[in-house]
Amino acid sequence: MVMEVGKIDSQGRVLVPKALRENLGLTGEIELVQVKDGILLRPRKSKSWEQILSEKLKVDWKQAMAVSLEGVSMDDVLFG
C-alpha cells in the first residue's frame, strides 16, 4: 500500500492528492468515518428510496405499518 500525504488548510479543509482521488473514485461528496486509528474517507453511498422518503416525509419506516402515497408524485417528494 502506498501512503499519500494530504494537507489540512487553515479553514479545516482536507486536500486529498489528485492521484489518490482518481484511483479511489472520490468525487463530489464523501463519507468521513471515525475509526480506531483515525478517519476513513470513502465515496458516499447513494441513498435508498426508503432513506429519501423517510427524510422528506418524516416517516419512521421501522414503526410505520403502511403509508399511502396516493396523489403524491415523486416530484412532490423529491422537490416539494
Residue 12 lies in a domain: yes
Total domain count, the chain: 2
Provide the Cα torsion 77, 25, 44, 66; round to 10°: 50
Residue 16 lies in a domain: yes
- For residue 64, the model assigns a pLDDT of 65
Do 14 and 37 lie in one domain? The reply is yes
Residue 1 lies in a domain: no
Domain residue limits at 31:
7-43
pLDDT value at 1 more than 60: no
Tell me the pLDDT tens digit for each residue of 18-56: 888 888 888 888 888 899 988 888 887 777 777 777 777
- For residue 4, the model assigns a pLDDT of 77
Do 27 and 53 lie in one domain? The reply is no
Residue 2 lies in a domain: no
Share of the chain above pLDDT 90, in %: 8
Do 39 and 55 lie in one domain? The reply is no
pLDDT value at 58 more than 80: no
